Structure 1
Amino acid sequence: MINELLMQFAEWLYATGGSRSIEESYYLYNWIEATHVITIMLCLGMLVFIDLRMLGLAMPGVSAVKISERLNIPMMIGFVIMFITGLLLFYAKPTYTIQSIWFRVKMVMLLAAFVNAVIFHKRLKASASSWEYEPKAPRNLQICAALSLGLWAGVVMTGRLIAYDWFHCYRELPAWLGAAAGCVAD
């Protein structure tokens, strides 16, 4: 049921003129994709520094709160642009993307990374003054930092795998994989 609704939405989206215009454009799709990749590097580059500091693996003599505060702005700018370009990439190829197991796994990991980030920032603000100059953050923040690194690595890898059609719906797939990928019978 949900797969049918998602497919109907994707077909409606693809029928709009803008979707096909982006997909068929000689340069636009490539520029959007390049911008998406560059802003992933900006966003995750800042995030990696923050997470490594929390784990005590980078810059142990620098205030963890100051690193987080200073890197949050470029990280959020990168995230916003990355998010917008990601939506545009989906908009350009919605019927292909909605039936990708990699896209679905990426979305679950992205949601988990978002929830982890919210928890991390709440914990950071609540306890920052007591450990800010310690080489490592408290255990609960270290767990969030390690989860962040793992989840974002998974988001990047599965995002890259969307382009490959090993498990796409036009291939013969086991029933469970077809359902997970969003395959809809014609």
Structure 2
Amino acid sequence: MLNELIHQAALWLDNTAASTSMHESFYVYNWVETTHVLTLTLSLGLLLVIDLRMLGLAFTNLPATRLAQRLQTPMFLGFAVMFITGMALFYAIPVRSSQSLWLRIKLLLLLAALINALVFHRHLRNAGPDWNNAVKAPLSLRRGAWMSIGCWVGVVICGRLIAYDWFDCSKNPAPLISAFVGCINGQEQF
């Protein structure tokens, strides 16, 4: 039922003039995709610097919270542009994208990364100021840094794999994959 709703919404989006023109425009689609990748590089690069600082692997001579505060604004700007361009990429090819195994896994990893970030910031507030100049952050923050790195590596890998059609509905994937991917046309639904 949820897959049917997603499919119907994707068909509706696909029939809009803006979606069609964006998909058919060689320059617009490529510029949006390039902007998405560049802002991903900016945001994740800055986040990696913060995570490595928490792990005691980089910039250990700088106070951790000051480093994070200074990198926060450009990182969040990059994430905002990355989110907007990601939505635009989905909008350009909604039916195929909505039935992509890799997109669905990527969305789950993004949700995990968001939850991890919220928990990380709570632990950061509760950690107190004593550790700020220490080489390594407290264990809870180091765990959050490792989770962050793991989630974002998965997001990047899945994002790259979206371009490949190994599990497209037209290839009649196994029933479990078909249900998770959201295949509708002639496929048994769970």
TM-score in same-fold range (> 0.5): yes
Deviation for aligned residue 1:128: 4.1
2:45 aligned residue: 45
For each residue in 1:65-111, what CA deviation from the matched residue of structure 2 results, as whole angstroms up to 9, or x when unmatched? 01100011110010000000000000000000000000000000001
2:97 aligned residue: 97
1:11-22 alignment runs, 5 A limit:
11-22=11-22
Once the two structures are aligned, what percentage of the paired residues are identical?
A: 49
List 4+ stretches of structure 1 deviating above 4 A: none
Decide whether the 8 Å contact of 1:36 with 1:81 is kept in 2: yes
Distance in 2 of aligned mates of 1:115 and 1:68: 18
Q: TM-score, normalization: structure 2?
A: 0.96
Q: TM-score, normalization: structure 1?
A: 0.98
Distance in 1 of aligned mates of 2:151 and 2:44: 11
1:78 aligned residue: 78
1:100-179 alignment runs, 5 A limit:
100-179=100-179
Deviation for aligned residue 1:170: 0.1
Deviation for aligned residue 1:185: 2.7
Decide whether the 8 Å contact of 1:43 with 1:75 is kept in 2: yes
My pick for the range that moved more, 122-131 or 56-65, is: 122-131
Q: Quick one: which amino acid aligns to residue 13 of structure 1?
A: L
1:34 aligned residue: 34
Q: Quick one: which amino acid aligns to residue 105 of structure 2?
A: V
Decide whether the 8 Å contact of 1:65 with 1:128 is kept in 2: no
Structure 2: 5+ residue runs without aligned partners?
none
SS in 2 for 1:170: helix
SS in 2 for 1:72: helix
Decide whether the 8 Å contact of 1:54 with 1:142 is kept in 2: yes
Q: Quick one: which amino acid aligns to residue 63 of structure 1?
A: P
For each residue in 1:104-143, what CA deviation from the matched residue of structure 2 results, as whole angstroms up to 9, or x when unmatched? 0000000100110111112112224121000000000000
Q: Quick one: which amino acid aligns to residue 181 of structure 2?
A: A
Distance in 1 of aligned mates of 2:179 and 2:27: 34
Distance in 2 of aligned mates of 1:73 and 1:123: 20
SS in 2 for 1:173: coil
Structure 1: 5+ residue runs without aligned partners?
none
For each residue in 1:29-49, what CA deviation from the matched residue of structure 2 results, as whole angstroms up to 9, or x when unmatched? 000000000000000000000
Q: Quick one: which amino acid aligns to residue 67 of structure 1?
A: L
